[in-house]
Amino acid sequence: MYLASVDIHSRLPRALAISRSFVSLHILVDLGITRCQLGKFPRQPHISLLSTCELAVQEAVQTVYLSSHFHGIVLTFTNNSILFSTFEVHTGTTLIPTFYVAPGLIHISLAMDVPGIALITGAASGIGRACAKTFTRDGASGIALIDLNPQALAAVKAEIEEQSRKQGKPCRVETYPTDISDENRVNQVVQQVAATFGRLDYVVNAAGIAMKHTGGAAFCETADWERILNINLTGTFFVLRAAAQIMLKQEPLRSSYDGRPLQRGSIVNFSSIQGVAGIAWSTAYTATKHAVIGLTRTASEDYAKDGLRINAICPGYTETPLTTKSPQILAAMKDKVANAVPMERMGQPEEIADGVVYLSGGRASFVTGTALFVDGGYTQR
């Protein structure tokens, strides 16, 4: 997505009620849209915009009313038109804030300002897969998919490439089969991603495993404890460390909306509601998720002044392969959802992904060291 300046002046049909004064709208537009004569704005971090382009308004436009100053965009879809309202307007004349355009004429997106390169672990399924698709939807130019299963990664890559094709927005996708508990492999892959794409802007540490220990902490097997810690905590640390070393050396990414410098990089670590609450028979998992919040907070303190933002996302009970393939975990979740989640339902991977991409992008440029709970209200009780 690109921010473009649109000159609406003498090109509007005479029948429209609009001031003859110069009006400049700031709207998000797709390149290559028919009927819109747009300049080709390069998708490069150092481009701070804005070239002026002209919008050739055709007969499809029904009504145009503008107001002296509004900020933001609200979309309303009707049978025959799309209503765009409360966008940013600069003019000396006060008009009414409504802009009707027929479907297909202009595409406006409320994207999360993520034009850069994303690396996602646990990307072959569940929330990781949803994050990859959400980054693609919101304009990422490249995505590195990391998980254990090469076939599953290839399937997600194909999904994203098809999604990108339908959106008309190029997004390069590469896959890297990786065990994130393997320190050397993590270092190699993160370096390879940065070399392949030229930089690394967003990291999503979504890989993780869960297990119930029958009988509780007293009966937790050492092998189970170590496996869960090695993936959920140590693997998260390995990825964070390797990515941070690259991000700290690169120039800040600029906003795709207004050109302001945002950050050298953004890392989102996966904690959980179990990062702040104890749940029976979840000894190792709960310990790792508490630790991830601690890792996030101390690392964010290390690098906040350097333009590297590090946050945690804390999902509630969510329908994913991780949480539904185990009968024990699924039964416990259903009981908790029925009795402890105010919304009385499980979350969907896409709902968690929206929070992740928000924390990653320019909309959260002043947010670091936080833990965002996306849990249907569970932790507020």
DSSP helix/strand/coil, 279: coil
Instruction: Report the C-alpha gap between 361 and 135 in whole angstroms.
Output: 10
- Indicate if 378 belongs to the active site: no
90, containing H or E segment = strand 88-90
SS3 string of 187-256?
Answer: HHHHHHHHHHHCCCCEEEECCCCCCCCCCCHHHCCHHHHHHHHHHHHHHHHHHHHHHHHHHCCCCCEECC
**Tokens (6 digits) for 40:** 């080709």
The verdict on whether 289 is a catalytic residue reads yes
Phi, psi at 37, each rounded to 5°: -90, 100
**Which residues, 6+ apart, have CB-to-CB distance to 262 below 8 Å?**
113, 252, 253, 254, 255, 361, 362, 365
Kindly name the residue from 2, 176, 285, 358 that is annotated as catalytic: 285
Q: What is the rounded CA–CA span in Å between residue 33 and residue 58?
A: 13
Tokens coding 197: 């794409």
Ordered DSSP codes for 338-349: HHH-TT-SPBPH
What are the structure tokens assigned to 176, written together?
A: 């890297």
Catalytic, out of 157, 176, 289, 317: 289
Backbone angles phi, psi at 70, to 5 degrees: -135, 155
Q: State phi, psi for 322 to the nearest 5 degrees.
A: -60, -40
Which residue, chain included where needed, has tokens 């690394």?
200
Residue 6 structure tokens? 């649109």
- Please identify every residue annotated as catalytic: 285, 289
